[in-house]
């Protein structure tokens, strides 16, 4: 059974992924937490790059924070925070990074491999599940948790039509 508020977006190529990233940046409220779930190479970082660029971060600046765990980009319209939990041992190590400060901020907080730290995430968030469907093709499932994210998903759907 499909949940009513889930938005499914099929990206045929990287340009479609970038279009989704722009729609996220334009539609999400300040302080949004975006939980990214997908395998290696699914396009998590590319989606963050597109959203950051749409938020005013210079193109080419956003990189995967795999080895530094978090990157902060403050030179755009609003801050973009980019976590990568892939190399963390456990949720306690994630909590040591002080994610609550970012969750309570005014920026967009993206968390790659969010399923590894699910119990540490705020109840109100947008979950983005990414599934590889072929060379460059991806299926994105946007699952809102909280009324503001239901509204944001509606706006995203409109902008992608």
Tokens found for residue 133: 């469907």
Asked if the structure places residue 109 within a domain, the reply is yes
Asked if the structure places residue 2 within a domain, the reply is no
Q: What is the pLDDT of residues 50-60, one digit of tens each?
A: 999 999 998 88
Largest CA distance in the chain: 42
Q: Domain holding 79: CATH number?
A: 3.40.50.300
For helices 14-27 and 147-160, give the axis angle rounded to 10 degrees.
140
Asked if the structure places residue 1 within a domain, the reply is no
Number of structural domains (the chain) is 1
Q: What is the pTM of this model?
A: 0.93
Residue with tokens 């765990």: 69
Q: What is the pLDDT of residues 10-44, one digit of tens each?
A: 999 999 999 999 999 999 999 999 999 999 999 99
Structural domain that includes position 41: 7-160
Residue with tokens 């660029």: 53
């Amino acid at each position: 059974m499909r949940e009513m508020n889930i938005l499914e977006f099929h990206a045929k190529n990287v340009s479609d992924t970038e279009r989704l990233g722009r729609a996220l940046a334009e539609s999400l409220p300040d302080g949004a937490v975006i939980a990214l779930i997908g395998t290696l190479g699914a396009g998590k970082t590319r989606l963050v790059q597109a959203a950051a660029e749409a938020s005013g971060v210079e193109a080419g600046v956003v990189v995967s924070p795999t080895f530094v765990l978090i990157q902060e980009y403050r030179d755009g319209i609003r801050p973009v925070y980019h976590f990568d939990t892939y190399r963390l041992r456990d949720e306690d190590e994630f909590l040591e990074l002080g994610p609550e400060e970012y969750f309570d901020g005014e920026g967009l907080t993206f968390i790659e491999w969010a399923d590894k730290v699910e119990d540490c995430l705020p109840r109100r968030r947008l979950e983005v599940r990414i599934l590889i469907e072929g060379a460059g093709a991806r299926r994105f499932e946007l699952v809102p948790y909280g009324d503001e994210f239901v509204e944001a998903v509606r706006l995203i759907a409109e902008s992608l039509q």
